[in-house]
Structure 1
Amino acid sequence: MSQKKIIEDLKKLNANQDIDLPAYGSWPASKHCFDDEKVVNALKAALAAQRPLLVRGEPGTGKSQLARAAAHVLGRQFVSEVVNARSESQDLICRFDAVGRLAKAQTLKTETTDDAKIKAELKPEKFISPGALWWVLDWKSADEVHTNSEYQLQRPEAPKGWKPEHGSVLLIDEIDKADAELPNGLLETLGNNAVTIPWVNQTLGNGTSIPPLIIISTNEERELPAAFVRRCLVLNLKLPAADKLEEWLVKRGELHFGERCPADIRHEAARQLLKDRKAAKDLGLTPPGQAEYLDMLRALALFGEAGEDQHTMLAAISDFALKKYPVLHGD
C-alpha cells in the first residue's frame, strides 16, 4: 500500500504550479509557486527514496513554506516542529512527564492501599505526550496515547477529510539551532523510518504505515554532523543571481498581491532590496531576501488601500524592512 501511495504522490508534484495555501494552525494564509524543476525533483527523490530532504539556504528563501506547500499538494497532514537551543532528539519522539507521575504516586499513596489501582493509575503511557515524529509515523497510536494521557501537549491539526492512510509531511525547522546531539540522536530513526517507544515497548513505522515525507531546514548557523547529512538528500535553496533576482521578486510580488502593489512599486522595492543585499553581503551580514521583500509589499498594499502614496511610503519604510543591522544605518 505504501508503494502505491508514493507512486500516486509522485504524479501530483509538478513544476509551474501556483498554490493558494489556506490558514492552517498558527500558519497564516499564503501563496506558493513551484516554478523550479530542481525543487520538485528533490521532493520527488525524497519521497521515492524514503529519505529526509535537508534544505539548506539563507533565511527568507522559502525553506519552511516548501514543506507546507508539499503537504497541501500531496493532500497529506502537515506537522511541524521548530527546533531551539534546548531541543533534544527525544522531544521529537515523545515527552515523558516523570515529575507528574511521581506526584501522582505520592497522592495515590495517601488515598488507597489497592496496589492494582495504583499500578493502573501509574501506567507509563498515561504520562506520555507524543512528539512530531510519533504523529507522522503512526497517527492512530499517537492519537490513542494522547487521548488517554494526563500529559497532553500539542495535538497536530488534521485537515478536513484527512485520514492516516493519506500520509504526512513533517517539517523539522531550523535544526542548526540545536546542539549536535539532536541530529545525532535522530540517525537511527531517520535511517529506518521507525522508532521504538521505550516506556510502552512499541515500534512505530517500519513498514506498518505510510512513510512520511520529512523536510529539515537549516540556515547554516552551525555545521551539521556528517553522519546525519549522509542520511539525507540535500537541496540547496538559493535566490536567483543578482541579474535575474529583480524579475523573480516582481513575479513573486504579483502572485501574492496582484495589482494591490502595481508593477512599478514591485520593481522599485526589488531594486531597493538588491541594493541593500549587496551592502549587507559586503559587510559579511545576512542579507535581506524574499521574506523581507514580501513583508514590505504587504505593508505597501495596505498603505495603498488606506489612501497613502505607495512610492512615498516605500522610501519611508524600506530601512525598517531591509536594513536590520546598525552598521547599515551608519551607526
Structure 2
Amino acid sequence: MTVYFTAAVPDPANHIVMLGQHGNWPASMHRFTPESLWALDMAILTGRPLLIRGEPGIGKSQIARAAAQVLQVPLLTHVVDERTERDDLLYHYDAVARLGQAQVSSLMPTSDTGTDGSQQQTWRAALREENYVRPGVLWWALDWENAADQALLFSRHCRPCNQPEEPTHLEPDSKAPCGPVVLIDEIDKADPAVPNGLLECLGSDGFRSSQLDRTISVPAGGKRPLVILTTNEERELPPAFLRRCLVVTVEFPEDDREARQFLINDRARVRYNANQISDTICNLVADKVLSERAAVAKKRTAGLARPGASEFLDLISALVQFASQTSAADRDSVQQAALQQIATFALQKAAKE
C-alpha cells in the first residue's frame, strides 16, 4: 500500500511537524492526528478535494500548511469571503484595465509593421482579452508553467503579477506525490454558487474561460494538486459539492483532561514557551475557557458558538503581550491579574439579559 504521510512525517510516533514562518503565519508546530494522516493520503490517492470541518481556531488551515511542508510542495492559499466568486479561484479578468487601455487605443498604430520595417504592437493586439487575465490559485496548481507565462503576459499589459511560491514540485529530483497544496479557506462564507461552480474544475482537473482560447489543465506527466478546503459550518454546503469531497472533522476534545492538553500543548506551546507564559497561567486560561464552554452548551443560546481554541489563543497572546516588559518574578502575578480583567471580552459574547 502506498502511504505518503505516515512515512514522511519527521516524528511519526507523535505525528509532529515543525513549521517555519510562511507569509503572515509565524513559526509553529503541528501535531497530525491519525485521522488527518489517513485523510490526506486518501485525498492524494483518489485526487479528491479534502474538506476539513471544525470550529474556528481548531487548526484546520494548519493541516494544509503542514501537509505542504511534509510533501515539500508550494502552498497556495485563498481566503473566501462573501464577495468571492467562482472565477476568483481560477483567474481574474481585469475588464477595467482593458477599458482604460481602450481609451488610448486611438494613439496606437493599426499595422504591426512600422515604416522602418520593425515590429510594433497594434491596438488590436494590446486589447486582446487574454492580456488582462491574471491566474488564480487553481490555475497555478494545475499548470504552474502555463500560469507563469500568463502572469508575465498580464504584467506586461496590466500590472505586476509575481509567482506565489518557488515551484519546488517541478524540480527534477522532486519525489512529491502531488502538485501544490491548495488551501481554500472558509468556503462556507461564499455563496453556494461558488462551491457548485468549482465542481467541474475539481472533477476534471481543468477549466475553460471565455477570455482564453485554450483549456487550463494538468499537463501530460504532471501531478494533480492536493486541494484542501475548510469550513466553520456557518453555512451548509451544497450536497453535490459534498459528494465530490472527502470529509474529515477536527473535533474539540470533549474530555476535560484531553481538552486541556490540546489547548496548552497544541495551541499555546506551539507559539509561546514557558519563559513567556507559565503552565500555571495556561491552566487558568484553560479553566475559564472550558467553564464558559460548558455554560454556553448548557444554555444552548441560539446562534452563539461555544468558546474554544480561538478564544483560548486570543487570551494567551494578550497575556504574553501584557507581561512582555515584566520581570520573570512578577510575570505570573501580572498575567493572572490581567486575565481577571480581560477574560469576559473573549469568552462572554451573549447579550446581557
Q: Same fold (TM over 0.5)?
A: yes
Corresponding residue number in structure 1 for 2:14: 16
Residue 312 (1) aligns with residue 337 (2)? yes
**Are positions 1:162 and 2:177 aligned together?**
no
Show the counterpart of 1:256.
271
**Residues 189, 15 of structure 1: alpha-carbon distance in 2 compared, 3 angstrom cutoff:** farther
Percent of counterpart pairs with the same letter? 38
Corresponding position: 1:130 with 2:135: yes
Tell me if the contact between 1:20 and 1:32 (Cα under 8 Å) persists in the aligned partners: yes
Match of 1:194 in 2: 206
Select 2:310's aligned residue among 282, 291, 299: 291
Q: Is the 8 A contact 1:205 1:211 kept in 2?
A: no
Which runs of 5 or more structure 1 residues have no equivalent in the other structure? 1-5
> Structure 1 residue aligned with 2:281, among 249, 265, 270?
265
Asked if residue 38 in structure 1 is aligned to residue 35 in structure 2, the reply is: yes
Alpha-carbon contact 1:242-1:274 (below 8 Å) kept: no
Higher alpha-carbon Rg: 2
User: Which residue does 1:210 correspond to in 2?
Assistant: 223
Name the CA distance, whole Å, in 2 between partners of 1:173 and 1:310. Answer: 33
Asked if structure 1 preserves the Cα contact closer than 8 Å seen for 2:28 and 2:270, the reply is no
Residue 284 of structure 2 aligns with an amino acid whose one-letter code is E
Contact 2:90–2:138 (Cα < 8 Å) also in 1: yes
- Change in CA separation of 1:315 and 1:256 when aligned onto 2, cut-off 3 Å: same
Structure 1, 252-261 or 230-239: larger mean CA deviation:
252-261
Q: Give the C-alpha shift of residue 155 in structure 1.
A: 4.0
Matched residue SS, 1:256? coil
Once the two structures are superposed, what CA deviation does each residue of 1:139-159 show, in whole Å capped at 9, x if it has no partner?
A: 111111111213347645315
Tell whether the 8 Å contact from 1:58 to 1:219 is kept in structure 2 after alignment.
yes
TM-score in terms of structure 1 length: 0.88
Aligned residues: 321
Q: List per-residue Cα deviations over 1:262-288 (Å, max 9, x = no partner).
A: 221111111110011123332231122
Instruction: Please report how far the alpha carbon of residue 129 of structure 1 lies from its aligned counterpart in structure 2 after TM superposition.
Output: 0.5
Matched residue, 1:3: none
- Counterpart of 2:46 in structure 1 is 49
Q: How large is the RMSD of aligned CA atoms in angstroms?
A: 2.3
1:106 aligns to 2:122 (yes or no):
no
Aligned to 1:247: 261
Unmatched 5+ stretches in structure 2 = 113-120
Query: Are 1:303 and 2:322 counterparts?
Result: yes
Distance 1:287 1:8, change over 3 A: closer
Map 1:168-183 → 2, pairs under 5 A: 168-183=180-195
Q: Give the aligned residue type for 1:254.
A: R
CA deviation map 1:49-73 (0-9, x unaligned):
1110011111111111211111112
Q: Quick check: 287-296 or 128-137, which moved more?
A: 287-296
Letter in 1 for 2:7: K
TM-score, length-scaled by structure 2: 0.83
User: Larger % of helix: which?
Assistant: 1
